[in-house]
Amino acid sequence: MAMDKSFGSTTATSPTARRHSSRNWRNCAKVERASIFLRQPQKPRQLHHSDVFGCALRNWRPLIDTRIQFATFALMSVYRLLLLCFAGVVAAHELRAESAFATHGAERDARGAAAESSLTFSSIHVDGPYIAMTFDDGPSATLTPKLLDLLAAHHIKATFFVIGENVAEHPDIIARAAREGHEIGNHSWSHPNFAKMSDPGVRSQLQRTDDAIKSATGMRPTLLRPPYGSITAREKRWIHDEFGYQIILWDVDPYDWKRPGPAVVRNRILKETQPGSIVLSHDIHPGTLEAMPSTFDALEAKGFKFVTVSELIRMAVAEPSHLPPQTRQSDPAAITPSPSPSLIPSQRPSPSG
């Protein structure tokens, strides 16, 4: 079979072509490597097109030296190691920052708790059989004057937490209470729930009542009892900052607002009252007024003495650390003196104020 001398035209079945192909493979080593990696590739001469790739594959060598590859790998390893070290330093710094933030937060919370304890009182630890009787929601045109007569007969000083709109209607009653030595506190203008109100709304309730008390008595109040005992910690702080009020709650609640009857009111007060107690009642319910004569007699018989809330706070002493507040003696004769004064917060009241 004849052979075409042009490149790549030899017939595969021709013996001459087979010999020619064999010579072509032997010539592979002499041919410049045909590779995409060569700067100036040259086409092989007298090679079948099927042999070009085979020669190139057999003679291919990477242009990049192995030493360069190793150096590149080493540099990348060092780079990754530096990144890991940097990430570790950043993580350690963030951990220290979080720890410092947590410590600062705990200290801030402790300071906030201490500050709140000096603003809010449910009862006071005292050296002596002293208690504070408090009356909410007045003045009542008919009942409050009768209560003032009863207090005068027993030589008792009480604290009245008044509603501003009632003060505006009966300023003479509040003026009399102040003249007779009773303490007047703010109980809002219309008895809303402060915890559900905006700051401007709460501020208006307090300011209007404050002004009404000042107009009737010539003095501004220093105590606040939030309606229902409902107030947030944030409200306590800004109210104290703006008005200077201490927040007064209670630890004895006879639930007289449910009108259970004079005997029930009396018995509940006698059962729950302890030295330092702040007793909650309401001078707008006839049953409460009916319960007070026998209640006062029984409390006096047990040795209790009556003071205003501010006087009770000034009597505060430190409670022994080994004696929790719940173990206080209800018998006034069992009280023992304690040194170093401080103000002791007590348990939360039930929401009936």
Cα 153 → chain centroid: 48
pLDDT digits (tens, 9 = 90+) for 106-148: 455 444 544 566 799 999 999 999 999 999 999 999 999 999 9
Among 268, 263, 290, which Cα is nearest to 279's? 268
The stretch 239-247 carries a mean pLDDT of 98
Which residue would you say has higher pLDDT here, 232 or 343?
A: 232
pLDDT digits (tens, 9 = 90+) for 155-201: 999 999 999 999 999 999 999 999 999 999 999 999 999 999 999 99
Query: For every residue of 17-29, which 3-state class applies, written as one string?
Result: HHHHHHHHHHHHH
Point out which residues pair with 278 in neighbouring strands. 132
Residue 93: pLDDT band by 50, 70, 90 thresholds? low
Tokens for 181? 């030595």
**For the stretch 299-310, what's the b/e string if a residue is b when 16 or more beta carbons lie within 10 angstroms of its beta carbon?**
beeeebebbbbb
Residue 347: pLDDT band by 50, 70, 90 thresholds? very low
Q: Among 273-282, 308-317, 335-344, where is mean pLDDT lowest? A: 335-344
DSSP code per residue over 28-62: GGGSPP--TTSSS--PPSS--HHHHHHHHHHH---
Among 119, 140, 172, 184, which Cα is nearest to 282's? 140
Residues classed as catalytic = 136, 282
Residue 35 CB contacts under 8 Å (≥ 6 apart), including other chains? 41, 56, 59, 60
What is the amino acid identity at position 113? A
